Amino acid sequence: MAKNLRRLGVTLLAQLLRLLGGRPARAGWSRSTRDPLDLTSK
């Protein structure tokens, strides 16, 4: 039971993150805002 609840929680969290962080469905090159020498973020 606890295992199933935990699994449900993980799934819901994944869906929420997808909604928050998902990208619009577009193809092709876009301008990058990443720092190419960023070596600290994981």
38 lines the binding site for other proteins (CB under 8 A): yes
Three-class SS of residue 36? coil
Distance of CA 29 to the CA centre of its chain: 20
30 lines the binding site for other proteins (CB under 8 A): yes
Closer by beta carbon to other proteins, 1 or else 33: 33
- Tokens 């928050």 — which residue? 20
Three-class SS of residue 25? coil
2 lines the binding site for other proteins (CB under 8 A): no
Which residues contribute to the site for other proteins (CB under 8 A)? 13-14, 17-18, 20-23, 27-42
